[in-house]
Amino acid sequence: MDYTESFLEEYLESFDRLKRKDRLQSSLPLPTMSEIKNLTVSLMALFFPGQRETMDKAVLKLAVSESYHKASSILMDAAFKAIRYESPDKSQDLCLEEAEGYIKHLTAKLPEIRRLLKLDAEAGFDGDPAARSVHEVILCYPALHAITVHRVAHELFREGLPIIPRMMNEIAHSQTGIDIHPGAEIGESFFIDHGTGVVIGETTVIGKHVKLYQGVTLGALSIPKKDTLSETETKKRHPTIEDNVTIYAGSTILGDITIGHDTIIASNAWIKDSIPAESMVITARPEIKVRPIRREE
């Protein structure tokens, strides 16, 4: 017996139930994750073209130019799709104009992003005795990949580009195990050692020279449904981490609180209240009991 027709009729109804309040947009294309992955690859090549001190400037210029044009071409197409999907009533010409505006904004920010990334790479080298060179940090450390993608995604997110910044950070998340929302503000010389399991929420603010270890969460407390809260109550939900703070593995810091500058948070801390500057936060040492294993003869 062929169930195809009955299945299709019931299955397609689910698309109507999932539509947004005012329209069903499934007929408009969205950027694909594979496109955005190619964008992140091009951005890594743009910021870190693998140059050496002996590389000819003309060769470097060509490499940078190729990476820039590839990244901007991918972003232009993806931005157009995202804008048109979110605003289907806009003309194609207007969507193209807005997409071009995002490219121009990002292009103007690229030198500053590159400066910040150099400082991030140096912070990784300075902060990890296992690192043999800055180039090793660039090539091998997942944190630098995640931070590179984030710094670009953050600029696009701040400018209001829909969908794409979240897709960019999810690509980095899937590749590195580091989950940084594009809304998070991160200062210079930022380093994440190891990195797996780090979560940084949307309204997090991180100062300069901050170092995190694996498994750190900078998150928000659970809230009721958004429509029950005011804009003020939902605007800042995540911590502010001031300059020169180190947060060790497995620590969880929740809510709109402040960790004061030059503070050290020991592993596995659970923090929901602000911490004053120049503090050492440790959890009480658990009682450890050791007994011999009794085996039956």
231 pLDDT above the threshold of 80: no
Helix (H) / strand (E) element for 253: namely: strand 252-254
Phi-psi category of residue 177: left, alpha or beta, with phi > 0 → left and psi -120 to 50 → alpha: left
For residues 6-15, b (16+ Cβ closer than 10 Å) or e, as one string? eeeeeeeeee
Please tell me the predicted confidence (pLDDT) of residue 214. Answer: 97
| Distance (Å, whole) CA 94 – CA 263 | 49
The CA-based angle 206-210-211, given to 5 degrees, is: 125
Nearest Cα residue to 280 out of 292, 271, 290: 271
The percentage of residues in the chain with a pLDDT greater than 70, rounded to a whole number, is: 90
The percentage of residues in the chain with a pLDDT greater than 90, rounded to a whole number, is: 73
Please tell me the predicted confidence (pLDDT) of residue 230. Answer: 62
Average pLDDT over residues 214-227: 84
Contact 277, 263 (CB under 8 A): yes
- pLDDT tens-digit profile of 255-270? 999 999 999 999 999 9
DSSP state of 3: -
Average pLDDT over residues 193-202: 96
19 pLDDT above the threshold of 60: no
> Would you call 92 exposed, middle or buried from its count of C-beta atoms within 10 A (0-12, 13-18, 19+)?
exposed
Please tell me the predicted confidence (pLDDT) of residue 202. Answer: 97
Residue linked to tokens 């005795």:
129
| Distance (Å, whole) CA 189 – CA 123 | 5
Architecture of domain 25-177: Orthogonal Bundle (1.10)
Other Cβ atoms within 10 Å of 2 Cβ, number:
6
The amino acid that residue 34 corresponds to is: S
Q: Where in the chain is the domain with CATH 1.10.3130.10?
A: 25-177
271 pLDDT above the threshold of 50: yes
Q: Where in the chain is the domain with CATH 2.160.10.10?
A: 184-297
Q: How far, in Å, are 42, 64, 237, 244, 276 from residue 72 at the CA level?
A: 9, 12, 33, 35, 44
DSSP state of 227: G
Domain 184-297 has CATH 2.160.10.10: yes
164 pLDDT above the threshold of 60: yes
Residue linked to tokens 């190891």:
194
Nearest Cα residue to 231 out of 239, 223, 241: 223
CB-based contacts of 172, cutoff 8 Å, min separation 6:
40, 145, 146, 149, 150, 178, 180
152 pLDDT above the threshold of 90: yes
Alpha helices for 48-91 (secondary structure H): 57-86
Other Cβ atoms within 10 Å of 120 Cβ, number:
24
> Would you call 285 exposed, middle or buried from its count of C-beta atoms within 10 A (0-12, 13-18, 19+)?
exposed
Contact 169, 180 (CB under 8 A): yes
Please tell me the predicted confidence (pLDDT) of residue 29. Answer: 85
